[in-house]
Amino acid sequence: MEIDVSNLEPQVAFPYLPSNVKPITQVDSIKVDQVVIGSCTNGRIEDFRAAAAILKGKQVAPYARLIVIPATQEIYLQMMQEGLLETFIEAGAVISPPTCGPCIGGHMGILAENEVGLYTTNRNFKGRNGHPTSKVYLCSPVVAAASAVRGLVTDPRTV
């Protein structure tokens, strides 16, 4: 089976289900407090390359946090060798060691009361990522990178 997705626009999953998806052109201006790219399940090298291409020479919005989590030590090392860590750090990101992290309410990046997160992880259930009043939206790495720069959920085709 072959499916042509070349005309599919970026998608965003709204709280509190990964299946609660809307095309990015139907997403109003949603301010984000924290953006997470990667995780133990979604920290792939190709995702970091795509996100770094958007972040190169740009800065994370002053009121937003960007956390980058490689899935494995091997990916972490490859990111270092390719200069991707430098790109993320220069943009204002914090690099986590490979670990389970904020997507399960552990390690760094737990959302506080009423905070909004935009994650490339696989779950956004109520209370899973921190305070029960926080909200997590799910997206692709390029949507996450563009949104970290603007501080709002952003279509990467506009950055």
The one-digit pLDDT tens for each residue of the chain (159 residues) are 999 988 899 999 999 988 999 999 999 889 999 999 998 777 899 999 999 999 999 999 999 999 999 999 999 999 999 999 999 999 999 999 887 777 666 667 789 899 999 999 888 777 787 889 999 999 999 999 999 999 999 999 998
Please give the residue range of the domain that contains residue 150: 11-158
Residue 22 lies in a domain: yes
- Residues 44, 113, 21, CA angle at the centre, nearest 5°? 45
Residue 3 lies in a domain: no
Residue 41 lies in a domain: yes
Q: Find the CATH number of the domain harbouring 61.
A: 3.30.499.10
Q: What is the domain count for the chain?
A: 1
DSSP H helical segments within the chain, as ranges? 45-55, 73-82, 84-91, 141-150
Residue 5 lies in a domain: no
Residue 55 lies in a domain: yes
Residue 4 lies in a domain: no
Residue 1 lies in a domain: no
Strands 21-23 and 11-13: antiparallel
Residue 6 lies in a domain: no
